[in-house]
Structure 1
Amino acid sequence: MPKFAANLSLLFNELPFLDRFEAAAAAGFDAVEFMFPYEFEADDIAARLKANGLRLVLFNLPAGNWAAGERGLAIYPNLVSEFRDSVDRASKYATALGCSQLHCLAGVAPGGADIRAMRKTYVENLRYAAERLASDGITLLIEAINTRDVPGYFLDTTAKAADIVESVEAQNIRLQYDIYHMQIMEGDLAPTIDKYLPMIAHIQIADTPGRNEPGTGEINYPFLFDHLDHIGYKGWVGCEYRPLSSTFDSLAWFRALKPKSV
């Protein structure tokens, strides 16, 4: 069975953020991930992780003004300084929290943008980030995101993301493969995972349509979970879905896989 991490930005959101760690542990999770830690003190998060025996496996670099629709800083030639500051900030949190993976959101390309200039900036920024993070033992991840949910997102297919990884030419940059996003953009999930497995360091899940829990949509998750075991995937699987009702009810699929955990 794959190793599952609860995404605390979406799961247990009936609770205040710092209370979600205890709920995740009580539900049987050994690890968590979330989008951003920056509105909380690292020491407060570290205390919740330790108290509940949890490992933090992933969070994002600062991504700009999220409420205003910004989805990353890395592609913009005029924001290189801000991007570098974001790498430093994320690295300090990751070191304090024992987290060895950081995801870098690329950004949304506005209409009429110079895509070549953005790609050049993106690759150069990722090279900087990978080198900066390597000294802390941190792997840098990039992820393709569907353009139905995030119109104009710079990376929208696995092939494009893999091309960026190859262009950066760093030992510590890998793919974050989101099954929900890639079902929307390209389908052919199992063969794509097979093809890019050496590059994939983290997987995230949700069903589609709706981005709800496994079993509520069209994706055959029992098959995919077995497939990940069969091909020897060793990374974490982040549960990044919106519970259809309560988080507890949404975890029926997880309890069926891990019947003794609750």
Structure 2
Amino acid sequence: MKRRNFITSASLGIAGFSLGNATSLGNKSFNSKEKHRFNLNYAPHLGMFKNLAGADPIDQLNFMADQGFTAFEDNEMRNRPIQLQKKMAKVMEKNNMTMGVFVAHSIYWKEPNLASGNKKWRAEFLSEIKTSVEVAKRVNAKWMTVVPGHVDLHLNKSYQTAHVIETLRQASAILEPHGLVMVLEPLNFRGHPGMFLAESPHAYEICKAVNSPSCKILFDIYHQQIQEGNLIPNIEACWNEIAYFQIGDNPGRNEPTSGEINYKNVFKFIHSKGFRGVLGMEHGNSKQGKDGEEAVINAYKITDNFVS
């Protein structure tokens, strides 16, 4: 099941996992620049720099670290071969990179799995959470993405919310002993119509009701710009339940500076609040090829250039 359209099948390739190819990158002049120091922990994903770094996931991780990125996220990590997971974890550890989110379970885009209260779907979800605990340990991850699925058109929203809360309480009981955190991601109505969780206040309400350090919010800035706007005040209102951010400009869902969001001010605010977690670069590149990949790196240098 695909998590995002911009994650292409090519980016999921696993050919050539060798650890020794970090010096064989395609664009050495770009790679030879002094490592940049970002204020925040931005996390690229595989495929974002495939033209500059090559197709090998290990080379891509090393390239990200060479550019100054201190984190990495991989929605598809749960589905990758265990041997590759271990190799990627080793490279992240070597480069002092923090592992960001991976998707913890099968997402139901058209069916109300968690909102329905159906015991079979609940059991399936909890089983996948248990499996994801092992993945998290293998790759040194702390956070995993949870999307509660589609609305149940046959039930009042309050009943649906109660069902989701009960399921997440049971999932939290699985995660808490391991110090792991599922982060709930509201998704916008335009790109994902009919999803149960769409707005940050609803996610806040659910996290407060679950009342666990293992159930927090993934605030995706791209989704919430479309869904509700008012970004900084909504981040402020949800702050004590937010554990993770994701990034994408609107329109287009590409790198900062390609759309309408004032990311310099958003990043400055997040930094001023003392956030030291991960901000996942869950977006595409606005331009193709090496030039487009360099543009992504430069966009983060521009928007991260603030005085807190």
TM-score bin (small chain)? 0.7 to 0.9
Structure 2: runs of 5+ lacking an equivalent = 1-38
Alpha-carbon offset, residue 25 of structure 1: 2.2
Alpha-carbon offset, residue 240 of structure 1: 1.0
Q: Structure 1 residues 240 and 64, CA, compared in 2 at 3 Å: closer, same or farther?
A: closer
Cα RMSD of the aligned pairs, angstroms, is 2.4
TM-score normalised per structure 2: 0.75
Q: Which has the higher contact order (CA 8 A, sep 6+)?
A: 1
Deviation per CA, 1:78-133: give whole Å up to 9, x if none: 31111111111111100111111112111012544554443222111110111101
Which range moved further: 47-56 or 76-85?
47-56
Alpha-carbon offset, residue 172 of structure 1: 2.4
In structure 2, what is the equivalent of residue 206 of structure 1?
248
Aligned with 2:137 (options 78, 95, 99): 95
Contact in 2 for aligned 1:182/1:189 (Cα 8 Å):
yes
Q: Structure 1 residues 64 and 196, CA, compared in 2 at 3 Å: closer, same or farther?
A: closer
Contact in 2 for aligned 1:202/1:235 (Cα 8 Å):
yes
Percent identity over the alignment is 25
Deviation per CA, 1:200-230: give whole Å up to 9, x if none: 1111111001111100111001111111222
1:62 corresponds to 2:130:
no
In structure 1, what is the equivalent of residue 57 of structure 2?
18
Contact in 1 for aligned 2:165/2:206 (Cα 8 Å):
yes
In structure 2, the residue corresponding to 1:251 is in which secondary structure? helix
Amino acid at match of 2:127: D
Structure 1: runs of 5+ lacking an equivalent = none
Amino acid at match of 1:208: N
In structure 1, the residue corresponding to 2:259 is in which secondary structure? coil
Q: Structure 1 residues 116 and 227, CA, compared in 2 at 3 Å: closer, same or farther?
A: closer
Alpha-carbon offset, residue 142 of structure 1: 0.7
Equivalent residue runs for 1:1-262 within 5 Å: 1-8=39-46, 11-12=48-49, 16=55, 18-19=57-58, 20-52=60-92, 53=95, 54-64=97-107, 69=109, 73-78=113-118, 79-109=121-151, 111-245=153-287, 246-256=292-302
Alpha-carbon offset, residue 11 of structure 1: 2.4
Amino acid at match of 2:66: A
Task: Tell me the distance in 1 between the aligned counterparts of 2:300 and 2:91.
Answer: 23
TM-score normalised per structure 1: 0.87
Task: Tell me the distance in 2 between the aligned counterparts of 1:172 and 1:153.
Answer: 22
Q: Structure 1 residues 210 and 147, CA, compared in 2 at 3 Å: closer, same or farther?
A: same
Contact in 1 for aligned 2:165/2:210 (Cα 8 Å):
yes
Contact in 1 for aligned 2:78/2:102 (Cα 8 Å):
no
Task: Tell me the distance in 1 between the aligned counterparts of 2:124 and 2:258.
Answer: 40
Q: Structure 1 residues 64 and 159, CA, compared in 2 at 3 Å: closer, same or farther?
A: closer
Alpha-carbon offset, residue 71 of structure 1: 8.6
In structure 2, the residue corresponding to 1:202 is in which secondary structure? strand
Amino acid at match of 2:216: R
Task: Tell me the distance in 2 between the aligned counterparts of 1:29 and 1:94.
Answer: 20
Alpha-carbon offset, residue 140 of structure 1: 1.9
Task: Tell me the distance in 2 between the aligned counterparts of 1:72 and 1:97.
Answer: 30
Task: Tell me the distance in 2 between the aligned counterparts of 1:75 and 1:43.
Answer: 35
